[in-house]
Amino acid sequence: MVEFGMNPQQALDAPRVFVQYENKTDQWLINLEEGIDQEVAVELRRRGHRVNWPVTGHERAHFGRGQIITVGDWWNRSVTQTNSPSRVLWAGSDPRADGCAQGY
């Protein structure tokens, strides 16, 4: 959220990368979720990495799931909070699984 100035829902919606070690092959595998450009997968393969792209459907559960609740829009670079910080709750829920972000 901080690095890319994303609100909670944008951060949860963004495509993810999952790196896993496979004991059977004694190798690392880079899993790229749908939404990541094919050029990224091609470049990683060119550099010698094993790449699984695109990961879709139920397999997306391997990327984890989450909900985010934050107070204020501190992640929004266009807003200055020095004089009157916002007490608004911002929330997001991961589209990869069932869930709900609730705050009160």
Range of the domain at 41: 17-63
- Does pLDDT of 91 surpass 70? yes
Q: From CA 64, how far away is CA 24, in angstroms rounded? A: 23
Cβ atoms of 19 and 29 closer than 8 Å: yes
Q: What is the pLDDT of residue 81?
A: 59
Cβ atoms of 17 and 49 closer than 8 Å: no
Q: Whole-number mean pLDDT of the chain? A: 89
Hey, what amino acid is at 13? Answer: D
Tokens representing 68 are 């985010």
Question: Does one domain contain both 2 and 31?
Answer: no
* Total count of domains within the chain: 2
Question: Does one domain contain both 86 and 75?
Answer: yes
Peptide bond into 15 cis (omega under 30): no
The mean per-residue pLDDT over the stretch 46-56 comes to 97
Kindly report, residue by residue over 65-88, the tens digit of the pLDDT.
899 998 887 777 777 656 656 778
Q: What is the pLDDT of residue 97?
A: 84
Question: Does one domain contain both 57 and 92?
Answer: no
Cβ atoms of 2 and 95 closer than 8 Å: no
